[in-house]
Copies of this chain bind each other. A is one copy, B any other.
Amino acid sequence: MDFKFTEDEEVFRREVRQWLEQEIPQRWIELAPGIWEETEESWALAREFQRKLSQKGWLAPSYPKEYGGLELSHMKRLILAEELAYSRAPLSIEVEVTVNWVAPSIMLFGTEKQKKDYVSSIAKGDIIFCLGYSEPNAGSDLASLQTRAVEVGDEYVINGQKTWCSYGHLADYCWLAARTDPDASKHEGISIFIVDMKTPGITIRPLINILDRHSFNEVFFDDVHIPKENLVGQKNKGWYQLMIALDFERSSIGYAAANQRIIEELIKYAKETTRNGEPLANDPLIRNELAQLAVENEVARMMAYRIAWMFSKGLHPSYESSMSMVFISEVMRHTANAGVRILGHYGELDRDSKWAVMNARIMRMCLSSLSIGVGGGSNEIQRNIIAMRGLGLPRK
């Protein structure tokens, strides 16, 4: 057992940190978007940054060299992810989706042409995918999806509706799950497609999130014709491809690192803020609360480290990722709620208010943290997975 990083890894961490200190644009820091807060302006900054990152090889550091990757070790990827999140680097959530799910799926299931067409571009930061998974009646129960893809000549014709398509209005491609055999049972007959978002027949309707940002979309497919070659992997076996992809490296380290930063800022605030002549940091209840946040976040960090370590050993975490995700989601909500209590009325103030403190991050986090632990991979579903996959408890 060994809890330290190697000297080489520590050097790498310092390199990343230093680079980030120089490269994160000032304007981004001013905009200070939290999760689900990106605007078109911040999106543009993020895409620019993404390309810079790719030039360092750090956008898709694990990819084989032929696709522009560095074949970086799992531990260094962990370090990179930790530093990126802690430094609040300009990266949209869709980058993670594209780099960590879509491209690895293509490498695993795609044709040589698909690999050539997409993987390097992804590694270069040139293209971004959005996910076309959820539908109005297929959320937690994703396998109920109804969007149809019908083979017609050299093409597939897609009809249906997707929802919660994050940044669909800004992405280049959609990674679409559609039903190719309506007569098969629920989990059979689903296939995966790459759909250019500029294809005629696609209509996007924005969904404004509770942070008052346009991050999600409903996407309507109305006789959308795509070339047959855009099918990824085996026809009708898409569900199983999706399930395998779910076990791809998903680490909650980014959440834990970002939350660490928030906790540190709360500690700083408590130390620097005096109320009626007494620093907040002297209040035993506040001290106890902040200490508890630090404890929880450290546990969350260890859980995230475990995932990376398992990968580094060639093990495949499954329920361990669920644990890690459920746990960090609760730590983040706890942090946001405790943050508001510590800040009091100041915790209510939004970014544009004269008296706002900590860049109103706590107030925004009260809202954004609601998104973690809900939706498709909700905490309830994750706990089912832990119980059944992890502990072998029976389904019936």
Contact = CB atoms under 8 A, between A and B. Distances in A.
A284 B284 CA distance: 7
A288 interface: yes
Contacts of A285: 284-285, 288
Interface of A: 283-285, 288
A283 B283 CA distance: 11
Enumerate the 4 nearest inter-chain pairs by beta-carbon distance, A residue then B residue, closest first: A284-B284, A284-B285, A285-B288, A285-B285
A182 to B, nearest CB: 26
A284 B285 CA distance: 7
Contacts of A284: 283-285
A283 B285 CA distance: 10
Nearest to A286: B284
A281 to B, nearest CB: 14
Nearest to A284: B284
Contacts of A288: 285
A284 B283 CA distance: 9
A288 B288 CA distance: 12
A268 B116 CA distance: 76
A132 B375 CA distance: 47
A101 B284 CA distance: 49
A33 B284 CA distance: 37
5 contacts: A283-B284, A284-B284, A284-B285, A285-B285, A285-B288
A285 B284 CA distance: 7
A142 to B, nearest CB: 21
Nearest to A288: B285
A190 to B, nearest CB: 26
A292 to B, nearest CB: 11
A167 to B, nearest CB: 36
A283 to B, nearest CB: 8
Nearest to A283: B284
A284 to B, nearest CB: 4
A288 B285 CA distance: 8
A393 to B, nearest CB: 15
A283 B287 CA distance: 13
A162 to B, nearest CB: 28
A288 B283 CA distance: 12
A376 to B, nearest CB: 23
Contacts of A283: 284
A288 B284 CA distance: 10
A11 B325 CA distance: 59
A202 to B, nearest CB: 37
